[in-house]
């Protein structure tokens, strides 16, 4: 039996979402079609008011699922997704197709016939910037160019809120100095934010299948899902399905953290079939190349790995260049030492050679590689705290300062940068992380793992961390790396991936609401209205996970009739809050509208007052 199985049509989830259809919104400046999901709703029936009816407009939501949920698109995993961005990239005239793969390792794998049965069949020749060119979105942005990617993002971020007649009420929010436009996002605003380094668009020219997305604190908060095999588990087939599955539930990017067999081939399959950007930690693969012996790592092996992965299309690299020799002893008395795998590898290398981290000493050479493919930096926090005890210590913050220095160097090369953050942090120390990151790293986007707000709940760390993630998202973190229930215990299976993704969509959306992101509350309002009116199917379809909502409802009241009934299992048929509300409305009307009007004026004043004092709610 072959241990590694390649994906087939059957192994990939393709069901459309219930009650939804895929729509495509056209661009104005570029010939682009931005994919979104439209959820259609049923009418409200006023049972206690002569069965009057009222239309409920469809709700458009951000869609990360890619072509898989469009029944009109033919998908062949063996060929990969349509190459959406290829034409945009080629049109810029600054790239060339290489005659063959540049990296030694990539060639080795490509020409090894023993791998034929696992290799992705349709590998294209890699693209690379022409000599003297820089193909990063940051480079274009600084030159004042609005790329199709930027326009795509502007349209995508807006979720068609400009077309909504009545967005309904939305709380003003409190954004801690984030600066999202009050109305909607323009392509020019996207360009500005990229140029300022406050946001990144991870999209390698060799991953044209990906739909452009942005990571920055003035945009919707994003989430990342980690997948990947290990020495003891998983096949290529499973990992590709996990990636598609994670996107289905809302992952904005995927990190492939494979450390097992056939990492190179697994990655190719994932990238070719991924509608979202892919991140990796190249040092993991480099370590496999030296049989797990950190001390045997060399700059040359690492460099070859970067090129290998950049030419496959990895969109961002986690690079632990801030783990400096002088910070390593600062972890000696920690409760949990160094818990980042990349951090431990580099610490071990530094100690074994008594030399400075080669990622730091070769940083400018790394930048040269990154800009030739538009790979973004995700500067790794190798010294992040692995326990509440170690939060916000000297090792962690020392490294963060170094990441700030490196950010400046990367920007000098017009290479996009985000900064990774912790980890395990009690609630009251989370804000300090965000503030320090903004300051030390010059507002480059922050990308945190949780943080977990307690250590005592293994098996539930998606929850311990969602608390911290929602908070740091509110404070300004741009992307939240999910944590699954298996954290600390094992590798996530499909169920864990979904639990982690949905949990993090909750955290990200709670953050958007608290920041007052324009239109963020529209979906909440629509769902709450559906809930209040017992439009069960609408409630399910508007929820982050319609399948689970429907299943839970049906556990108690399985009959189809129950899903249109004006009651639920909690209150029983004798008691209807809709009826009571109709009574209240009638009563209020009888009182004349004066009281109601007075109230509304009062509420407006209150809201204005709140907005005014918003900056000071914690005083």
**Among residue numbers 354 through 373, which ones bind a copy of itself (CB under 8 A)?**
none
Nearer to a copy of itself, 106 or 485 (CB): 485
CA distance 286 to 366: 15
Instruction: Looking at residues 589 to 618 of the shown chain, list those that interact with a copy of itself (rule: CB under 8 A).
Output: 589, 591, 595-596, 599-600, 602-603, 606, 617-618
Establish whether 571 is an annotated binding residue.
yes
Q: From the list 457, 563, 565, 611, which residue makes contact with a copy of itself (rule: CB under 8 A)?
A: 457
Instruction: Looking at residues 524 to 583 of the shown chain, list those that interact with a copy of itself (rule: CB under 8 A).
Output: 524-525, 527-529, 531-532, 539-540, 542-545, 548-549, 551-553, 555-557, 568-575, 577-578, 580-581, 583
Question: Token pair of 448, please?
Answer: 């945190």
Question: Token pair of 466, please?
Answer: 């969602």
Instruction: Looking at residues 399 to 438 of the shown chain, list those that interact with a copy of itself (rule: CB under 8 A).
Output: 424, 426-429, 431-432
Interface with a copy of itself, residue 386, by CB under 8 A? yes
CB of 353 to a copy of itself, least distance (A): 12
Q: Which stretch binds a copy of itself (CB under 8 A): 44-52, 65-73, 111-119, 390-398?
A: 390-398
Question: Could you write out the DSSP letters of every residue in 341-406?
Answer: HHHHHHHHHHHHHTS--HHHHTHHHHHHHHHHHTPEEEE--TT--SSGGGTT-HHHHHHHHHHHHH
Establish whether 320 is an annotated binding residue.
yes
Establish whether 226 is an annotated binding residue.
yes
Establish whether 576 is an annotated binding residue.
yes
Q: Can you state the angle between helices 394-412 and 363-373, rounded to 10 degrees?
A: 50
CB of 251 to a copy of itself, least distance (A): 16
Instruction: Looking at residues 300 to 339 of the shown chain, list those that interact with a copy of itself (rule: CB under 8 A).
Output: 328-333, 335-339
**What are the φ and ψ backbone dihedral angles of 549, each rounded to 5 degrees?**
-60, -45
Q: How many residues bind a copy of itself (CB under 8 A)?
A: 133
CB of 396 to a copy of itself, least distance (A): 11
Nearer to a copy of itself, 8 or 233 (CB): 233
Establish whether 327 is an annotated binding residue.
no
Residue with tokens 């290479």: 415
Nearer to a copy of itself, 168 or 181 (CB): 168
Nearer to a copy of itself, 24 or 575 (CB): 575
CA distance 418 to 446: 6
CB of 201 to a copy of itself, least distance (A): 26
CB of 499 to a copy of itself, least distance (A): 9
Q: Which stretch binds a copy of itself (CB under 8 A): 41-49, 146-154, 181-189, 450-458?
A: 450-458
Question: Token pair of 582, please?
Answer: 């109709």
Instruction: Looking at residues 18 to 77 of the shown chain, list those that interact with a copy of itself (rule: CB under 8 A).
Output: none
Nearer to a copy of itself, 130 or 293 (CB): 293
Instruction: Looking at residues 164 to 183 of the shown chain, list those that interact with a copy of itself (rule: CB under 8 A).
Output: 168-171, 173-174
CB of 202 to a copy of itself, least distance (A): 24
CB of 534 to a copy of itself, least distance (A): 11
Q: From the list 129, 467, 479, 483, which residue makes contact with a copy of itself (rule: CB under 8 A)?
A: 467
CA distance 616 to 593: 34
Bridge-based pairing state of the strands 316-319 and 95-97 = unpaired
Instruction: Looking at residues 239 to 278 of the shown chain, list those that interact with a copy of itself (rule: CB under 8 A).
Output: 259
Nearer to a copy of itself, 32 or 470 (CB): 470
Residue 81 CA to its chain's centroid (Å): 20
**What are the φ and ψ backbone dihedral angles of 291, each rounded to 5 degrees?**
55, 35
Question: Could you write out the DSSP letters of every residue in 118-187?
Answer: TS-TTPPPPEEEPTT----HHHHHHTT---HHHHHHHHHHHTTGGG-S----------TT----SS---H
Instruction: Looking at residues 504 to 523 of the shown chain, list those that interact with a copy of itself (rule: CB under 8 A).
Output: 505-507, 509-511, 513-516, 521, 523
29 CB contacts (<8 Å, ≥6 apart)? Answer: 146, 151, 187
Nearer to a copy of itself, 80 or 385 (CB): 385
As to burial, measured by CB atoms within 10 angstroms (0-12 exposed, 13-18 middle, 19+ buried), residue 605 is: exposed
CA distance 454 to 412: 39
Residue with tokens 């990571």: 215
Nearer to a copy of itself, 144 or 587 (CB): 587
Cβ atoms of residues 320 and 282 within 8 Å: no
Establish whether 136 is an annotated binding residue.
no
Nearer to a copy of itself, 110 or 460 (CB): 460
156 CB contacts (<8 Å, ≥6 apart)? Answer: 34, 36, 62, 211, 212, 213
Nearer to a copy of itself, 90 or 491 (CB): 491
Greatest CA separation found in the chain?
A: 84
Question: Could you give the 3-state DSSP secondary structure of residue 34?
Answer: strand
**What are the φ and ψ backbone dihedral angles of 192, each rounded to 5 degrees?**
-55, -45
Question: Could you give the 3-state DSSP secondary structure of residue 52?
Answer: strand
**What are the φ and ψ backbone dihedral angles of 452, each rounded to 5 degrees?**
-75, 135
Q: How many CB atoms lie within 10 A of CB 160?
A: 19
Establish whether 342 is an annotated binding residue.
yes
Site string for a copy of itself, 205-244 (x = CB under 8 A): -------------------------xxxx-----------
Nearer to a copy of itself, 82 or 614 (CB): 614
Q: From the list 445, 485, 500, 519, which residue makes contact with a copy of itself (rule: CB under 8 A)?
A: 485
Binding-site residue numbers for substrate are: 226, 255, 284, 320, 340-342, 381-384, 420, 447
Binding-site residue numbers are: 226, 255, 284, 320, 340-342, 381-384, 420, 424, 447, 488, 568, 571, 576
Binding-site residue numbers for Zn(2+) are: 424, 488
């Amino acid at each position: 039996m072959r241990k590694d199985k390649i994906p087939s049509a059957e192994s990939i989830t393709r069901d459309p979402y219930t009650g939804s259809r895929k729509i495509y919104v056209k661009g104005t400046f570029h010939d682009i079609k931005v994919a979104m999901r439209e959820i259609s709703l049923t009418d409200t029936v006023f049972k206690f008011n002569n069965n009057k009816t009222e239309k409920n407009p469809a709700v458009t939501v951000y869609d990360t699922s890619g072509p898989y949920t469009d029944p009109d698109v033919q998908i062949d995993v063996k060929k990969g997704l349509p190459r959406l961005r290829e034409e945009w990239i080629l049109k810029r005239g600054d790239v060339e197709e290489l005659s063959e793969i540049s990296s030694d390792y990539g060639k080795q794998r490509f020409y090894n016939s023993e791998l034929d049965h696992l290799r992705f069949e349709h590998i294209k020749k890699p693209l690379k910037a022409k000599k003297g060119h820089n193909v990063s979105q940051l480079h274009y942005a600084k030159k004042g160019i609005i790329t199709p990617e930027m326009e795509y993002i502007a349209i995508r971020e807006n979720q068609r809120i400009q077309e909504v007649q009545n967005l309904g009420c939305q709380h003003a929010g409190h954004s801690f100095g984030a600066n999202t436009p009050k109305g909607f996002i323009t392509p020019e605003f996207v360009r500005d934010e990229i140029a300022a380094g406050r946001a990144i668009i991870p999209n390698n020219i060799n991953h044209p299948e990906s739909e452009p997305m942005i990571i920055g604190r003035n945009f919707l908060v994003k989430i990342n899902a980690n997948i990947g095999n290990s020495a003891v588990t998983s096949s290529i087939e499973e990992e590709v399905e996990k990636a598609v599955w994670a996107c289905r539930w809302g992952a904005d990017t995927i990190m492939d953290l494979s450390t097992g067999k056939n990492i190179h081939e697994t990655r190719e399959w994932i990238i070719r079939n991924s509608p979202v950007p892919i991140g990796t930690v190249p040092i993991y693969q480099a370590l496999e190349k030296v049989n797990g012996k950190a001390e045997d790592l060399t700059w040359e092996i690492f460099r070859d790995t970067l090129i290998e992965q950049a030419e496959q299309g990895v969109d961002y690299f986690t690079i632990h260049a801030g783990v400096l020799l002088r910070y390593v002893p600062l972890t000696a008395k920690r409760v949990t030492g160094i818990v980042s795998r990349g951090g431990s590898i580099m610490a071990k290398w530094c100690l074994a050679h008594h030399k400075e981290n080669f990622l730091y000493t070769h940083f400018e050479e790394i930048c040269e590689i990154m800009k030739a493919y538009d790979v973004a930096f995700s500067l790794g926090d190798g010294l992040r705290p692995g326990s509440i005890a170690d939060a916000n210590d000297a090792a962690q913050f020392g490294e963060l300062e170094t990441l700030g220095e490196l950010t400046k160097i990367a920007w000098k090369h017009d290479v996009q940068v985000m900064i990774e953050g912790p980890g395990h942090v009690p609630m009251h120390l989370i804000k300090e992380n965000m503030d320090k990151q903004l300051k030390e790293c010059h507002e480059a986007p922050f990308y945190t793992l949780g943080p977990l707000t307690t250590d005592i709940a293994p098996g539930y760390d998606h929850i311990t961390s969602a608390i911290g993630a929602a908070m740091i998202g509110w404070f300004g973190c741009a992307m939240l790396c999910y944590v699954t229930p298996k954290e600390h215990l094992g590798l996530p299976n499909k169920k864990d991936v979904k639990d982690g993704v949905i949990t993090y969509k909750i955290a990200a959306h709670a953050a958007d609401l608290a920041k007052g992101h324009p239109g963020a509350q529209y979906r909440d309002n629509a769902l709450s209205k559906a809930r209040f009116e017992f439009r069960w199917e609408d409630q399910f379809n508007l929820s982050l996970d319609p399948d689970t909502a429907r299943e839970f409802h049906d556990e108690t009241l399985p009959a189809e009739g129950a899903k249109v009934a004006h009651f639920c299992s909690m209150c029983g048929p004798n008691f209807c809050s809709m009826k009571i509300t109709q009574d209240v409305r009638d009563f209020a009307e009888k009182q004349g509208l004066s009281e109601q009007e007075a109230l509304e004026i009062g509420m407006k004043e209150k809201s204005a007052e709140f907005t005014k004092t918003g900056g000071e709610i914690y005083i």
